[in-house]
Amino acid sequence: MSNHKPTVEQRITRLEDIESITRLKAEYARKLDNHFDGDGLASLFVEDGIWTIKGVGGEAKGRDGIKHHCCNLRQSISWAQHNILSAIVDVSADGYRANASFYLLCLLTMKASPNSPKEEAVVLSGKYSDKFIKIDGKWLIEEVSGVIEQSAPWTQGWVASQLVKESW
């Protein structure tokens, strides 16, 4: 066990990294809320990034897959507000990798469809457990791993309309 105490500069760099990652996750939310901006969202990931949302959401791999998945989401969701909260960010000792967890509270407007002839307000909540990497001084997302724990029509709420969870 080392008694090495980080320098003030190292501590400031660590705080800046935590803030950069928190801001990156906020940008992620804004890209989703900007009518599922596939190009913008994909640009936040490494080239072979992974985006997995269990419960409801789906999976995409690589920037092209992420762009395509956003396009699919845009077909069924007309409006979204992703509120990402309670960030806990752990930066590796070398300062080039990080793991972070977040809570999600999301409000959506689902478009009318053959199964649902009117638009529907939906509320969902879940958790993220993400991986980040710093490349050339810039933080990027390596992997988004989310679990939607509740999803329900706004009018019914999550008690009356329980989410049937997939096994994970």
Q: Could you read off the pLDDT of 86-106 as tens digits, one per residue?
A: 999 999 999 999 999 999 999
In the chain, the amino acid numbered 17 is D
pLDDT digits (tens, 9 = 90+) for 111-124: 988 877 899 999 99
Please count the other Cβ atoms lying within 10 Å of the Cβ belonging to residue 2: 4
From the list 105, 75, 106, 89, the residue with the least C-alpha distance to 141 is: 89
pTM of the model: 0.90
DSSP H helices, 77-156, are none
- The pLDDT score that the predictor gives to residue 165 is 53
pLDDT band at 163 (very low <50, low <70, confident <90, very high): low
> What are the structural domains of the chain?
8-160 (3.10.450.50)
Residue 5 corresponds to which tokens in the numbers above? 């105490």
